[in-house]
Amino acid sequence: MRFIVTESEKNNIKQLYNLNEQGVIDALFSGFKSGKEKSIVITKDNFYVGFYSSIRNTEKPEKLRLRGGPENIVKSGNVITAKLQNTYSSGEDEYIVEYTCSDNKIKRQDGYELYPASTVNDDVEALKYELKKFCKV
């Protein structure tokens, strides 16, 4: 589905994702843009996770990167759709996951769920935390 985006809407999108150079620097240091508006700051963008289905078909874990930007993270009602890119590109290059704000669940578009692959960090919870930021927008 395509939409016509006006100049003012483009400016709002740029502000939302901190695409202007000064906004990125301000957001990195303070988490806020100059002024009173909040900025969404992605604090972690690499996640070591695997996928499994309900019948326990488990895929090997991969290191995936959350791709930023308005074309890669889309909010549609209660669902946040995000693209995860394989950093080593050994198999699939890109996965599309859906995060449901009300259920606090992440699933791949084909129904596979995520599991944390690291014994040190729970990257599934870290990814949920990053995507939860878009629920409030």
131's CB contacts (< 8 A; 6+ apart) are 73, 80, 82, 99, 106
Q: 58 and 124 in one domain?
A: yes
Q: Report the amino acid identity of residue 13.
A: I
User: Residues 41, 68: contact at Cβ < 8 Å?
Assistant: no
Both 16 and 52 in one domain: the answer is no
> 19 pLDDT exceeds 50?
no
pLDDT digits (tens, 9 = 90+) for 68-124: 777 888 888 889 999 988 877 655 688 899 999 998 889 988 888 888 887 777 888
**In this structure, are 121 and 69 located in the same domain?**
yes
Secondary structure of residue 126 in the 3-state scheme: helix
Mean pLDDT of the chain: 76
Please tell me the total count of domains within the chain. 2
**58 and 20 assigned to the same domain:** no
Question: What is the pLDDT confidence band of residue 13, given thresholds at 50, 70 and 90?
Answer: low
Q: Are residues 3 and 30 in the same domain?
A: yes
Domain boundaries, position 32: 1-41
Looking at the structure, do residues 120 and 96 belong to the same domain, yes or no? yes
58 and 23, same structural domain?
A: no
